[in-house]
Chain A
Amino acid sequence: MSQAKAMQAETAGLDALSLQRRMEIQFEIEQFLYAEAAMIDGREYRTWLDLWTEDCSYWMPIRRTVTLSDIDREFTKRGDMSFYDDDKQSLTMRVAKMESGSSWSEDPPSRTRHFVNNVRIAEIEGDEIGVEVAFLLYRSRLNTEESMWAGRRVDRLRRVDGALKLCGREIYLDQTLIRATNMSTLF
């Protein structure tokens, strides 16, 4: 299928795509997300930062233990308190912090492994693709510290000049009380 034809079909939405085209997009997205995860685990933060669009949003709400009757209050909402409420500028500061030579929470550096699973394309809207993944982030620090964060991620990808970029990430942790000294790693 030609690129023009594909774009036309994608604009019509996910359901209108052929199985083969959906598989192509699935493969492309998975490879992109695996490469992105490898950049963080490989400490290539500056390269990772370049994957993000200038208007990006990176957000992790606070999750609470609530009863089923209060389940609509499980996560804080946009504009409420969060763990991360970042844009390109603040993500750039996080990377600059790690490169500063005095970011003690990452020196000695953590060893991280990002596992990205259950990749599902939720929607295709013009140039943008909504993707939901399950993730597991394992972190080993110093000799005895271990942290694990599992959760659901809602990523938004955009085709910019033919290349995929990240323009949004919502991180929904499964932990409520964060059982770690800090979250100095990138999700």
Chain B
Amino acid sequence: MDLTPTPEQEQLVRSARAFLARACPPAHVRAMEADAPGFSAALWREIAGLGWPGMALPAQYGGGGLGFLDVALLLEEMGRVLLPSPFVATAVLGAPLVLAAGSEEQRRRWLPRLAAGDAIATLALVEPGWRDEWGAATARVHAGRVSGTKRFVPVAAAADLLLVAVENGGLVAVERGAPGVECARQATLDGGHVYEVRFADTPAEALPGPAGAALARARLHAAVAALAFSAGAAERVLEMTVEHAKTRVQFGRPIGGFQAVAHRCADMRSDLDALRWLVYQAAWALDAGRPGELEVGAAKAYGSDALRRLFMHAHQVHGAIGFSTEHDLQLFTRRAKATELAWGSATLHRERVARAMGL
């Protein structure tokens, strides 16, 4: 037991923070909300140069052989600056699915390109009417062709490889440029780039491995990844909130000198620390090959509720300015709400925890 990051992890965090502070100012985040495909290809090349897309893949496929906990630490840094990128779609969803469910030939064909950042992958999972990511896929596969409608597919318009969850717990791959694919951006509260993707008799290649188990695992990784990103974002928002409380003067003194305000800030620190270590534990549990239902469930149940509390405190302390679009707080708030809704609500994960408790 030791809950302190290793020197290597600290180094990863330090260098990522320095790079991202320069590469991704708030103006870039704002610009990418409007621009297709939602991220800068030039910046993605730079990120690929740092080895991030393949950091958790085995060395034999061009990866860095690090763990998911390292990925989570990196995601916190991306969250601090709200980095718009295809990182989660490629490195947390796409590549691990190919690794877990692809044939050896498919792995060799796709993983080195994904690891190098030369290709972007994503997962097409959710179907119309699903309330969460745990629905049963009905997209149909017939004679090497897939048909069906998928929603909330991240960075679909830029993806070179679409992994599509299909009927009977299967997974198929659709490559960029395949006929019969229609992509339409969905307007969401976080300004993210997610798409409705319609497949009509689209040529698709089955992943022959244990796709159902791989998808179950991918949901857990995705939940932890979203939380890690939001924990980093919340850390930045806490800094902004404390700075505001120190400098905003009312009744002749900084408002942070009033207990009512100071205690909201203390509550943010306390909630955020719990969230961070629950996230680290969940990532560690997935690295260790544990079922993860309890650890990930605890992180997401706590995290979804804590993000609500954190961001409402941040708004309350900031006052009216925090609601204005001129201020950066709203960029963070909208993304935190998206995290809360994605990959299982607090209620869904509490039920999973209940089962893990033997209830």
Q: Do A and B come from one complex?
A: no
- Residues of chain A whose beta carbon lies under 8 Å from any beta carbon of chain B: none
Chain B residues within 8 Å of A, Cβ to Cβ: none
